[in-house]
Structure 1
Amino acid sequence: MFPCIETADEAAHAVRLTRFPSPDSPDGLRGVAGMVRAAAFGMRRDYLQTANAQIAVIVQIESARGIDEVERIAATPGVDCLFVGPADLAASLGHLGDSRHPDVETAMARVLAAGKQAGVAVGIFATDTAIARQYREAGYRMITLSADVTWLLRATRQALQEVRS
């Protein structure tokens, strides 16, 4: 996942960073390291031959400039997912702390439309299951549901509530 991608050139560079130099990706810039988890620490002999086709390139769209270029970013060969950052997008659009502002929602709809037009998945972060369901119905195909620290906090609060009652 690449943060704050604002142009098609930046998206293309992100793709290059994920590709090993090979006949199908002669401009690939990915460093060759066989002793990594993805290669089963050297046990997957075909890793260097198959990795380019198996990696997902996710670019975050979280600025006004990124919105202005989102159709070109979505059409960049090798980009698999546009991931919306509503909080950062709100700040960039002049609505710090208000990710539900109509300008932000309009921008998010533009990202969804660009992804659909280009055949690229669009993702977003949801804070709870109700919001995740709304996003799914809106057309988001990759939804990150909360964060580990949020789940731990919820479980801790629930446990404390049970102990105190």
Structure 2
Amino acid sequence: MTTSSTPIKQALGAGELVLGTFVFEFATLGIGRLAAGAGAQFVIYDAEHTGWGWETLASLVATTRPTGAEPYIRIPVAERSAVSRALDTGARGIMVPMVESAAQAEQIVRWAKYPPDGVRGAAFGVAHDDYAAGDNVAYMRETNANTLVITQIETAGGLADVEEIAAVDGVDVLWVGHFDLTNSMGIPGRFDHPDYLAALDRVAEAARAHGKAAGFMAGGVPEAEMLIKRGFSILAYGGDLWVYQAALRSGLSEVRGLG
């Protein structure tokens, strides 16, 4: 039983730009393949703001794994059971919302890693290892090295402790949750506010200083360009429902103009 090295972790370690997308609405067996076919390197399936259960998430992960795009799950809350279930579906990594301290980040990493690096429960020959038999000890070691841990910085508390969170061994990405962050900062939706822009720079600098990556869900090309210039290196280009709606609106508008 072996697992290949994770291309995204390699790319981030080499300082490359990594691009993917979010899925919130279209829980179809083809959505991961469609995203991969469009060039997405990862797909994040959202369990925080959807009503999806673990069976749905497991199906989405299973149909994405063979595509080459890495499937991740944003869990609804920082709890051990959520981390375990997400990884045991076969997700290659987890995104955890509302991370506010280094101690919390350390606990998340421990839940996500097998012994001796953590306390993840061991079950083999199931979905996460493609139902294969083999060297379980080697598999645990390789999986610990390859599992991506994304901590979301989306509160004033998380921002205040971002340098300490970035320093936690096993945290791979600091991901800004922009609307929640502005809400917490008392400037809801003010994405041009100097304090918000300074927060972006602080997260990017903390990530860079500790050899981690800064991440964000960009709503369009201009925002993505701004983020890349600020040092963000892993971006989700929108989410399925908004990408679909924007493309449909644009096409309908053009066709309507022909009449």
Query: What is the total number of aligned residue pairs between the two structures?
Result: 159
What fraction of aligned residue pairs are identical, expressed as a percent? 37
Aligned counterparts of 2:251 and 2:150: Cα–Cα separation in 1? 36
CA gap of 1:129–1:19, structure 2 versus 1, over 3 A, is same
Unaligned runs of 5+ in 1: none
Of Structure 1 and Structure 2, the greater strand share is in 2
Amino acid at match of 1:62: E
CA RMSD of aligned residues (A): 1.6
Runs of 4 or more off by more than 3 Å in structure 1? 44-49
Of 16, 30, 51 in structure 1, the residue corresponding to residue 120 of structure 2 is 30
Q: Deviations over 1:5-51 (max 9, x none)?
A: 000000001101110123xx1xx222323311x312x1263543421
Of 235, 238, 250 in structure 2, the residue corresponding to residue 146 of structure 1 is 238
Match of 2:215 in 1: 123
Aligned counterparts of 1:65 and 1:75: Cα–Cα separation in 2? 16
Unaligned runs of 5+ in 2: 1-94
Amino acid at match of 2:103: D
Amino acid at match of 1:13: Q
Kept after mapping to 2: 8 A contact 1:90/1:101: no
Match of 2:134 in 1: 45
Match of 1:84 in 2: 176
Amino acid at match of 1:10: Q
* Local SS of the residue matching 2:170: coil
Kept after mapping to 1: 8 A contact 2:200/2:230: no
Of 13, 37, 40 in structure 1, the residue corresponding to residue 107 of structure 2 is 13
Q: Deviations over 1:44-88 (max 9, x none)?
A: 635434211110111000111111111110001111110011211
State the Cα distance separating 1:162 from its structure 2 match. Answer: 4.4
CA gap of 1:3–1:118, structure 2 versus 1, over 3 A, is same
TM-score normalised by the chain length of structure 1: 0.88
Aligned counterparts of 2:220 and 2:245: Cα–Cα separation in 1? 13
TM-score normalised by the chain length of structure 2: 0.58
Aligned counterparts of 1:151 and 1:45: Cα–Cα separation in 2? 41
* Local SS of the residue matching 2:99: coil
CA gap of 1:162–1:105, structure 2 versus 1, over 3 A, is closer
